[in-house]
């Protein structure tokens, strides 16, 4: 969009507008993603609690998880996403081997391949 606007009609006016909209879109996406994961984590923790216990510490749990995930997003931005992904994929392969491949092979051997 930015390249098209810069080479088209009204580039001096539309370029800053498009740039601001891109920044606002990135911020709103980040806020929605952090809000979603905070809601899921807090709901997961509060699932086995009574209604009184849920309402008692709900705001504090939201604040703690929001701080954790905001710091995590900030740390990823500081180190660079590609560096995190490069290191993470190596460990993700080991985790997948242990959690997916090994149980699949054990299950196949136990059922003699009938339930694959």
Over residues 36-81, the pLDDT tens digits come to: 999 999 999 999 888 888 889 899 999 999 999 999 888 888 878 7
DSSP-based three-state secondary structure for 9: coil
**11 vs 69, more confident:** 69
- pLDDT value at position 93? 81
Q: If pLDDT is split at 50, 70 and 90, which confidence band does 12 have?
A: confident
Taking the C-alpha atoms of residue 20 and residue 66, their distance in angstroms, rounded to an integer, is 25
- pLDDT value at position 10? 77
Q: Please check the confidence at residue 32 and state whether its pLDDT lies above 70.
A: yes
For the question of whether the overall pTM of this predicted structure is more than 0.75, the answer is no
Q: List pLDDT tens digits, range 80-91.
A: 877 777 777 778
Taking the C-alpha atoms of residue 8 and residue 39, their distance in angstroms, rounded to an integer, is 43
- pLDDT value at position 30? 84
- pLDDT value at position 116? 67
Q: What is the percent of the chain with per-residue pLDDT over 70, rounded to a whole number?
A: 97
User: What is the gyration radius of the CA atoms in the chain, in angstroms?
Assistant: 23
């Amino acid at each position: 969009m930015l390249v098209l606007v810069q080479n088209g009609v009204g580039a001096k006016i539309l370029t800053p507008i498009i740039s601001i909209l891109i920044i606002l879109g990135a911020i709103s996406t980040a806020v929605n993603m952090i809000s979603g994961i905070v809601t899921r984590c807090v709901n997961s923790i509060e699932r086995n609690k009574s209604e009184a216990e849920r309402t008692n510490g709900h705001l504090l749990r939201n604040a703690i998880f929001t701080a954790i995930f905001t710091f995590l997003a900030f740390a990823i931005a500081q180190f660079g996403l590609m560096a995190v992904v490069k290191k993470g994929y190596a460990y993700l392969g080991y985790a997948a081997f242990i959690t997916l491949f090994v149980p699949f092979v054990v299950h196949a051997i136990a059922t003699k391949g009938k339930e694959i």
